[in-house]
Amino acid sequence: MSKVGAVAVVGGGVGGIQAALDLADSGFKVYLIESDVSIGGVMAQLDKTFPTNDCSICILSPKLVEAARHPNIELLSFSEVKGLSGEAGNFKLKVVRKARYVDETKCTGCGLCMEKCPVKVDAEFEEGLAKRKAIYIPFPQAVPRVARIDPEHCLYLTKGKCGACKKVCPFDAVNYEDEDKELLLDVGAVIIASGFEAYDPSKLYQYHPEHPDVVTSMQFERLLNASGPTAGHVVRGSDHREPKRIGFIQCIGSRSTAEGKPYCSSVCCAYATKEAMIAVEHDPELEVYIFNIDVRVFGKSFEEFYQRAQKDYGIKYIDSRPSGVGVRDDGSLYVMYEDHESGKVKTMDLDMVVLSVGLDTNPKIYELAEALGIKLNEYGFVETKMEAPVCTSREGVYVLGAAQGPKDIPDTVAQASGAAAKAGALLAEARGTMIEVPELPPERDVSGEIPRVGVFVCHCGLNIGGVVDVPAVAEYAKTLPYVVYAKDNKYSCSSDTQELIKEAIKKYKLNRVVVAACTPRTHEPLFQNTVREAGLNPYLFEFVNIREHVSWVTRDDKEKATEKAKELVRMGVAKAVKLNPLYREKLPLNHSALVLGGGISGMTAALDLADMGFPVYLVEREGELGGNLRNITQLPDGRDPSEIYEPLIERVKSHPNITLYLNSKLVEVKGFIGNFEGKIETPEGEKIVEFGAAIVATGARELVPEGYYHYGEQENVITQLELEKRLPGINAKSVVMIQCVGARCPERTYCSRTCCMEALKNAIRIKEESPDTQVYIIYRDIRSYGFMEELYQRARELGVVFIKYDADKPPVVGKDNVSVYDRLLRSNLTLPADLIVLSVPMVAPEGAEETSLLFKVPIDVVSGFFFEAHVKLRPVDFATPGVYLCGTAQGPKNIPESLSQASAAASRAATLLSKEYIEAEGIVSCVNEDVCIGCEVCVPMCPYSAIEMREREVEVDGKKVVVKKSSINPAACTGCGTCAAACNPGAIEQRHFQNNQILAQVKAAFNFPQNGGGA
């Protein structure tokens, strides 16, 4: 039976969206099934994201729009999965589309119904801090932007009264008779992306969650947000005053057996740090205290973020976690905590308390797991194995993100692409069988035509029309040169207006279209598609923003608003008449990949790509595969590491799509995305290979801790990896482990993420083998995040002694002892030590610099690891197109994290390799060689190395001379236009933002363009 080339992704948060986009981009049909009204998940609710404090919705929103508009993605919002039958490759998935009471095909999201609805209910999106109506769109950037009626609160549906929304809806979209509908989908694979739910602290009475000044971290996130319930002003619920002193209490619903949540939620320390920093940015006088057990900021650049929070923002971390919040008779709040400097219990008054709630399992997961027939672990997260972090207990069903265990956004996004790779490999033979290529009419050739501009001015209901005199603007547009048609529309984005625009293009032979409405950042693609459907090149369209830039910000002066709107339309028309059609150049593509590095990450990436049907060249410097895992003698679960790497090695060696080069070195790379050429030095001589994409999986190595704690001078001082080799059978009475040796220090500021677990694992091994051996772990913070908290618990049960030290009072190593100041006991201890084990960080491997030069990819100056394109949303992409990274080359990480990233890199490469050809950007820069003087100023301007100088033969005074001319590779150009601004002779033009186009706009800001010029 042939396989089905469609995948269901269950859950439309950032992880589900990423998996859907990867699969849709590599030729699969995707059903994106979201149980809520809009996709976006928790990320849509966040104000900022750590550690860069990027605006969360700003980086998410383009992904929402992309998912909604993708021709291969069918978005099923407000739908639930009810059952799965069949087998991997050929499933039948039962889905119920819940009654929304609003017709998705008719609703334009204008919001009139929300204005008229008389019922107010606590808004879930605002965490109950604001109200919504019974008919509502959860947030402004919601996708789909379609209202939903809440049947529990709607007056018509509960009492048969009202009906205001139906009356006011201009599109007749309200349908009170709507019912649940059942669908049966044919899919080859299912990906679970159901995420998490923030822990509900309402039963933890000791923290007084009912007190108006005690909020959860999710509520605080909304308070910080400019579009949140208080417009970004942090105020207390009790008196709406700004707090002067805030305390965060960590581990609410985490690391607590009493609360039934023994695991660590992994993200709370970092998000509390972020929220604290933003709060201080809002009010520099604010005091913030974070009460914690350990500060677990283990991700890439998180430690530096935490240090900055203390140094630059004055945020205080107190390593004593209060067991409750006190409320005085006057309602004021306080906490009691142990002050480790004085050893006394102190009381601190707080104006506001933030409960840092953990990542709880999504309550819907139990029903979903039953419907899909997959196993959950004891905490209610989807069970996976260490060597298969995105595979569930059922073949063909995959998982990603917080549904599998608490994790942050980049780890979720990596797993998302990883799950997409597994589904893509399973269904490789069915790629491209279920997708439709939309048929478009041929494009009309407008060259040589005199510009005929059509202008459409939008009322946007009352959003624009309530302030700007829209018909007057349309009338004014008619007076502008080259404008042959102008009209005002109630809603320019509604589907009937799209038809009107298409008709007008045909009837009036328009060859340029201007829409004056909202922002191009969200709506430009819609109108570009519309003009394309009418047979015009999509770049013959210009957008004028008279909502965000006029009506919404000039509310009280209608006359001036109208005047400004007219001038903006004038500028838009001036640019429009100079627009040229643009084409996305099609370039040939080599469908092979090169993977650099034969550790478990490199092997996994190579195998995933090979399984998807792409030829792979795997290049390894050493004589054998397996990388660092060969230095480990036991996994945390007690198994032999060869159980992980041996099956991979066997498959790599026997896979028909993989060509393996051992003892080999990549020494030269030429070309660009889709068309690279590499030179490999192999024992058999030089080999030239051609490939379309490359994955850097060069790994990391353990720091050699020379200069630290007499390492190399004293025989009993060893590293954790050296200890591994001696286990079992070390025969010591007392072992002292020292954490953060050469990490989290001025010379190496980062946290190496895995060393705590390595120490815990080895401590447990020693204790299990010889219970009488004393094991001490001297630490700064134990960062056993996620379910690895179990290791910490197990070590304590076995009697491992933990001693917390201060970074500025490091331990002192003697011949057979270690002295240390115990920060929690406030006393100096001297511990006997037969063996002193240093936990040292992972550092970038030798040769990283060379690799960086080969592919022109950056290295993070702080850590020395490779630097990805975007810390949150593109963890395995390089900014250089066609080059990806994974595993410890990107930063320290453990086995499942490396494997997730490896599959993710394969998936990202597959989105490229599965195409027939490469399509360059339309808006790229190009060189007029006749004007270029070969000055080379443009070459270093390009951050993507897309410009090179090429030799050209020209004739000067009858003689042939070879000169240099600038040449821009359209495949690598991202269209920023920096080179065009730098080109003095004006030889470089950025298409769609040409000099004459921008200058026309500038002129039209002041003058009625008399000679608007031709195209």
Partner 1 sequence: MMAEEWEPKIVLFACNWCSYGGSDAAGVARFQQPPTTRIIRVMCSGRIDPAFVLEAFLEGADAVCVTGCHIGDCHYINGNEKTKLRYSFLERVVKELGIEPERLRLEWISASEGEKFANFVKQVTEDVKKLGPSPLKPEGVQ
Residue closest to 768 by CA, chosen among 803, 725, 797, 736 = 797
Q: Classify residue 471 as left (phi > 0), alpha (psi -120 to 50) or beta.
A: alpha
466 binds partner 1 (CB under 8 A): no
3-state secondary structure 397-448: EEECHHHCCCCCHHHHHHHHHHHHHHHHHHCHHHCCCCCCCCCCCCCCCCCC
433 binds partner 1 (CB under 8 A): no
Angle of CA points 917, 441, 586, to nearest 5°: 15
Q: How far is CA 53 from CA 138, 182, 275, 391, 556, in A?
A: 24, 42, 9, 32, 34
922 binds partner 1 (CB under 8 A): no
Using only the alpha carbons of the chain, give its radius of gyration. 31
879 binds partner 1 (CB under 8 A): yes
227 binds partner 1 (CB under 8 A): yes
Cβ 451 to partner 1 shortest distance, Å: 20
* Cβ distance to partner 1 smaller for residue 85 or 996: 996
* Cβ distance to partner 1 smaller for residue 65 or 365: 65
Sole window of 260-268, 304-312, 963-971, 999-1007 interacting with partner 1 (rule: CB under 8 A): 999-1007
Burial group, residue 692, by CB count within 10 angstroms (0-12, 13-18, 19+): buried
| Element housing 645 (H / E) | helix 642-654
Sole window of 689-697, 806-814, 883-891, 1002-1010 interacting with partner 1 (rule: CB under 8 A): 1002-1010
Number of CB atoms found within 10 A of residue 808's CB: 6
3-class SS of residue 1003:
helix
762 binds partner 1 (CB under 8 A): no
226 binds partner 1 (CB under 8 A): yes
- In 3-state terms the chain splits into helix, strand, coil percentages (rounded to 5) of 30, 25, 45
| Element housing 122 (H / E) | strand 120-122
Peptide bond before 728: cis, by omega within 30 degrees of 0? Answer: yes
Sole window of 622-630, 638-646, 714-722, 990-998 interacting with partner 1 (rule: CB under 8 A): 990-998
| Element housing 97 (H / E) | strand 90-97
* Burial state string for 213-231 with b = 16 or more CB within 10 A and e = fewer than 16: bbbbbbbbbbbbbeebbbe
* Cβ distance to partner 1 smaller for residue 332 or 978: 978
* Cβ distance to partner 1 smaller for residue 533 or 860: 860
Total residues interacting with partner 1, rule: CB under 8 A? 56
567 binds partner 1 (CB under 8 A): yes
- Provide the token pair at 623: 């004589």
966 binds partner 1 (CB under 8 A): no
Burial group, residue 90, by CB count within 10 angstroms (0-12, 13-18, 19+): middle
Question: Residues 82, 490, 549, 630: which binds partner 1 (CB under 8 A)?
Answer: 549
Q: Are 838 and 738 in contact (CB under 8 A)?
A: yes
1003 binds partner 1 (CB under 8 A): yes
* Cβ distance to partner 1 smaller for residue 444 or 1003: 1003
Cβ 941 to partner 1 shortest distance, Å: 7
Cβ 522 to partner 1 shortest distance, Å: 8
* Cβ distance to partner 1 smaller for residue 652 or 980: 980
Cβ 302 to partner 1 shortest distance, Å: 17
Question: Residues 854, 1001, 1009, 1015: which binds partner 1 (CB under 8 A)?
Answer: 1001
554 binds partner 1 (CB under 8 A): yes
**Packed helices 409-426 and 14-25: angle between N→C axes, nearest 10 degrees:** 40
Q: Which of the residues 10 through 49 are near partner 1 (CB under 8 A)? A: 48
346 binds partner 1 (CB under 8 A): no
Cβ 755 to partner 1 shortest distance, Å: 29
* Cα distance between the two ends of the chain: 56
* Cβ distance to partner 1 smaller for residue 156 or 884: 884
999 binds partner 1 (CB under 8 A): yes
Task: Kindly state the DSSP code that residue 293 receives in the 8-state scheme.
Answer: S
* Burial state string for 823-854 with b = 16 or more CB within 10 A and e = fewer than 16: beeeeebebebbbbbbbbbbbbbeebeebbeb
55 binds partner 1 (CB under 8 A): yes
Cβ 607 to partner 1 shortest distance, Å: 32
Question: Residues 338, 548, 860, 936: which binds partner 1 (CB under 8 A)?
Answer: 548
- Provide the token pair at 773: 């051996």
571 binds partner 1 (CB under 8 A): yes
Task: Kindly state the DSSP code that residue 717 receives in the 8-state scheme.
Answer: E
Q: Which of the residues 528 through 547 are near partner 1 (CB under 8 A)? A: 545, 547
DSSP string, 719-780: EHHHHHHH-S----SEEEEE--TTSSBTTB-S--SSHHHHHHHHHHHHHHH-TTSEEEEEES
* Cβ distance to partner 1 smaller for residue 54 or 533: 54
3-class SS of residue 910:
helix
Cβ 867 to partner 1 shortest distance, Å: 10
Q: Which residue has the tokens 């630290």?
A: 708
487 binds partner 1 (CB under 8 A): no
943 binds partner 1 (CB under 8 A): yes
Residue 472 φ/ψ, nearest 5 degrees? -65, -35
978 binds partner 1 (CB under 8 A): yes
Cβ 986 to partner 1 shortest distance, Å: 9
123 binds partner 1 (CB under 8 A): no
976 binds partner 1 (CB under 8 A): yes
* Cβ distance to partner 1 smaller for residue 392 or 545: 545
Residue closest to 515 by CA, chosen among 534, 533, 540 = 540
* Cβ distance to partner 1 smaller for residue 48 or 422: 48
* Cβ distance to partner 1 smaller for residue 571 or 854: 571
556 binds partner 1 (CB under 8 A): yes
Residues that bind partner 1 (CB under 8 A): 48, 52, 54-55, 57-58, 140, 226-227, 231-232, 519-521, 545, 547-550, 552-557, 560-561, 563-564, 567-568, 571, 879, 923, 941, 943-944, 974-978, 980-982, 990, 993, 995, 998-999, 1001-1003, 1005-1007
